[in-house]
A and B are shown apart, each in its own frame.
Chain A
């Protein structure tokens, strides 16, 4: 039971990552390879505010969000915007990877090399549910992820801005013709992804410890979660993330811990083979990854 909750908690972080990846994917068709580093940046900024400047938790979180939103916008401006038509080339892989190298190394130089402890929510209090020792922090992780996911989905379906995002995702040129500023929409998506990154960062930092390498193992998993849920689909991101967390928890129980990642990947590959579009095959966010297109 405990493993399950822990798996769901981890999974909620993957969900947040997948959500942010999906936000950017849906409007640009690319995945931001620097995202894991941005999460780390959010966590480290939060840590410094709390530990070095003694600021209260919430304020530190807000500062961290401000920093990651800014860095995501900078990443967009410097690494993505200039590339032009993103569907026709893969240069964004190189530029976003370059951004992640810079972020990681700057973090190392500024924040130091040693992992640091990061405060849990509710000061790490744990409660007992059905005989399992569950931290309130972990419950909050799941709830916050659901909350953010729901807000995003509501925004997408019900607000004008959400419709604008969907329009840009489907046909950026037509959207532009209809008076929607594609650039602004894309920029906003990058900004939102940055904000979500900080939240994910401060939530996972108590578990992974805050250091410049804290997201090195998680980065790929967020991406994988986005894929098995169906890229660009926020419900899918959610399902994908939680599924991956649960898979890992289950696999970890039966298999030597060293094999956990390999087996998890294997399971994901098998899922993809049978459900090429992801668990919830994305319906109208299918950009690029389709079989023979209808003419």
Chain B
């Protein structure tokens, strides 16, 4: 075990060195390219650079955030035309055109994502297709501004007083592409990248971490729009002529293809995808019919041969390159002791959670019926009952996943029944789920470290520019995550994906994640389901430690021995109604409870 640990560190560094060398070589290649290539290839490469930028933008929204939209051409067009009008009609300098491009593309993205606020999946597709049609209509009909379907010529590309020739255009667009690639990298390798991927992997759990997935999606899409707008602006000045027929549905699919074929959700996927999608058809230029067929065949074959895209396939082999850079399994073998952990609270009262008359009605079914429950601070409060009694529904209402039909939930003196999941997380409520909801594409340690996000103070700019504060905060949260992983015994598995853990380990991991959020109230929904006796005992010990650290625990469980052993107070539900409550001793002899669980037996044991 120790030997494999020692090998992991050099592997990442080794891969990193190799890939850095590869990218540097490519960069050098691009820099010297114009010196030996003909005019045609210079222009061809420049166009590829623009397409890479488009692909990166789309990748951020679709590959990392899961927003597969069909509006790439609309955003591209918005940027291109906005800058063309600014530069051509109003004689503004080039950078004003860039700004105009970002603003207008951003507006289009808002128009799409605001309705998408409510809709997802295929409905988002419909909205984005509709917007594409509407944008095209505007481009064609708004002739005075856009030149209509006949098209629009732009003046020569001038930047800072210099007129750009083909070399100038090449290098400027190359520089833009490199900057945007760096932006993508810094965004993804920061907590924002983690948050986006969390939303894509498991939206509900992401919400539970305090991520407002709706606004994050809008942000992700806005970034997509801004980058696509920049691409459009570069294209307009580069090409010198715009017409609406360039920006149609086929082009939108082309952008999508680049990202999927290259590998969505990877940093180099857009680059590889753009190159493949433009170069392969290029090879068939001399036979136009064959070119189309070859294009179709390539799409079908490549996607199936390499699911996850070209880069995805490569990455499987070089998995270690994605390992986190902050801690290794051996870092800071500190003296983290749970007993040193203290929890701060915003309120002094004895009662942390007060539930009054909580009711949930689904159609004709009353799942929870006027439940009253009081949880004392620093206690382990269990909620038990037969299957279908309404325990999970109750807990869902408390944690903001469902809205109550009636009744109130008061946390630390504040009413929380109207709050969203992510707002509750900020208030100090965290939970685990009956069916484990880990983030599949984040590593084990990232799954835990994401819990610390609530305490972050650095913003987006800090992430992009790698500010000192960002590095410090990330370092701190990863070290803390490692501590938690030590407590649950997973410190030698920090960089693997959670799917590779056993189900018991996964549940522990979810617990560690919830703890990393430093909650005041920890809600556990059947944490021991499917665990072995030993694992259950481990869990029991942990819960004790958690309680002793000052965290209040609301526990749903079926393991009676566990419940009796660690609970301070128990509420019993049946058919949505509270049928009994009290200390373990009281509840265990309560005849109503025995009847509900064990049937008609009336004898005490």
Residues of B within 8 A of A93 (CB): 68, 253, 256, 260
Residues of B within 8 A of A72 (CB): none
B118 touches A102 (CB 8 A): no
- Considering only residues 122-154 of chain B, those with a C-beta below 8 Å from chain A are 122-123, 125-127, 129-131, 133-134, 136-137, 140-141
Identify B122's interface contact among A89, A220, A227, A292, CB under 8 A. A227
**Inter-chain pairs besides A98-B298, A220-B129, A289-B119, 11 sampled, C-beta below 8 Å:** A83-B304, A89-B308, A91-B260, A91-B307, A98-B296, A102-B293, A109-B289, A258-B140, A259-B137, A295-B204, A295-B392
- Considering only residues 238-295 of chain A, those with a C-beta below 8 Å from chain B are 258-259, 261-262, 265-266, 268-269, 272-273, 276, 288-295
Q: Does B275 contact A (CB under 8 A)?
A: no
Identify B253's interface contact among A97, A109, A289, CB under 8 A. A97
A273 touches B119 (CB 8 A): yes
User: In the complex, how many angstroms separate the beta carbon of A187 from the nearest chain B beta carbon?
Assistant: 17
Q: Does A126 contact B (CB under 8 A)?
A: no
For the complex of A and B, the 6 pairs showing the least CB-CB separation, nearest first, are A98-B299, A265-B130, A289-B121, A101-B296, A102-B296, A262-B137
Q: Does A31 contact B (CB under 8 A)?
A: yes
B123 touches A259 (CB 8 A): no
User: In the complex, how many angstroms separate the beta carbon of A243 from the nearest chain B beta carbon?
Assistant: 14
Q: Does B227 contact A (CB under 8 A)?
A: no
Q: Does B300 contact A (CB under 8 A)?
A: yes
A265 touches B133 (CB 8 A): yes
Query: A288 with B121: in contact, given A258-B137, A258-B140, A262-B134 (CB under 8 Å)?
Result: yes
The main secondary structure of chain B at its interface with chain A is helix
Offer 19 A-B interface pairs, CB within 8 angstroms, sorted by A.
Answer: A31-B122, A83-B307, A90-B62, A90-B264, A91-B307, A98-B300, A101-B299, A102-B293, A105-B292, A106-B293, A223-B129, A224-B126, A227-B122, A227-B125, A228-B126, A258-B140, A268-B130, A272-B127, A295-B396
Residues of A within 8 A of B129 (CB): 220, 223-224, 265
- Considering only residues 97-134 of chain A, those with a C-beta below 8 Å from chain B are 97-102, 105-106, 109
Closest A residue by C-beta to B393: A294
Chain B residues close to A by CB (< 8 Å): 62, 68, 115, 118-123, 125-127, 129-131, 133-134, 136-137, 140-141, 203-204, 207, 249, 253, 256-257, 260-261, 264, 289, 292-293, 295-300, 303-304, 307-308, 392, 396, 401-402, 421, 433-435, 525
User: In the complex, how many angstroms separate the beta carbon of A158 from the nearest chain B beta carbon?
Assistant: 25
Interface size band for A: 35 or more
Q: Does A15 contact B (CB under 8 A)?
A: no
The main secondary structure of chain A at its interface with chain B is helix
Query: A266 with B134: in contact, given A272-B115, A295-B433 (CB under 8 Å)?
Result: yes
Residues of A within 8 A of B119 (CB): 272-273, 276, 289
Q: Does A78 contact B (CB under 8 A)?
A: yes
Query: A223 with B126: in contact, given A90-B68, A97-B299, A292-B204 (CB under 8 Å)?
Result: yes
Closest A residue by C-beta to B204: A292
A292 to B525, alpha carbons, bound, how many Å? Answer: 17
Closest B residue by C-beta to A216: B249
Residues of A within 8 A of B62 (CB): 90
A289 touches B123 (CB 8 A): yes
User: In the complex, how many angstroms separate the beta carbon of B423 from the nearest chain A beta carbon?
Assistant: 14
User: In the complex, how many angstroms separate the beta carbon of A234 from the nearest chain B beta carbon?
Assistant: 17
Residues of A within 8 A of B298 (CB): 98
User: In the complex, how many angstroms separate the beta carbon of B28 from the nearest chain A beta carbon?
Assistant: 32
Query: A261 with B133: in contact, given A105-B292, A227-B122, A273-B115 (CB under 8 Å)?
Result: yes
Residues of A within 8 A of B131 (CB): 265, 269
Residues of A within 8 A of B289 (CB): 105, 109
Q: Does A231 contact B (CB under 8 A)?
A: yes
A289 to B137, alpha carbons, bound, how many Å? Answer: 29
A261 to B127, alpha carbons, bound, how many Å? Answer: 13
Cβ proximity bits A72-86 to B, threshold 8 Å, 1 near / 0 not: 000000110011100
Identify B435's interface contact among A31, A227, A262, A295, CB under 8 A. A295
Residues of B within 8 A of A231 (CB): 122
Query: A94 with B123: in contact, given A101-B292, A105-B292, A220-B129 (CB under 8 Å)?
Result: no
Residues of A within 8 A of B396 (CB): 294-295
Closest A residue by C-beta to B288: A105
A99 touches B525 (CB 8 A): no
Closest A residue by C-beta to B309: A91
A220 touches B249 (CB 8 A): yes
Closest B residue by C-beta to A103: B296
B299 touches A94 (CB 8 A): yes
Closest A residue by C-beta to B300: A98
Closest A residue by C-beta to B121: A289
Q: Which of B118, B122, B256 has the most CB of A within 10 A?
A: B122
B260 touches A90 (CB 8 A): yes
Q: Does A95 contact B (CB under 8 A)?
A: yes
Closest A residue by C-beta to B525: A295
Closest A residue by C-beta to B124: A289
Residues of B within 8 A of A265 (CB): 129-131, 133-134
A91 to B134, alpha carbons, bound, how many Å? Answer: 27
Residues of B within 8 A of A97 (CB): 253, 257, 299
Q: Which of B130, B256, B421 has the most CB of A within 10 A?
A: B130
A291 touches B292 (CB 8 A): no
- Considering only residues 205-230 of chain A, those with a C-beta below 8 Å from chain B are 220, 223-224, 227-228
A15 to B264, alpha carbons, bound, how many Å? Answer: 34
Cβ proximity bits A176-219 to B, threshold 8 Å, 1 near / 0 not: 00000000000000000000000000000000000000000000
B303 touches A94 (CB 8 A): yes
Residues of B within 8 A of A94 (CB): 256-257, 260-261, 299-300, 303
B249 touches A99 (CB 8 A): no
Closest B residue by C-beta to A102: B296
A269 touches B130 (CB 8 A): yes
Identify B300's interface contact among A78, A84, A262, CB under 8 A. A78
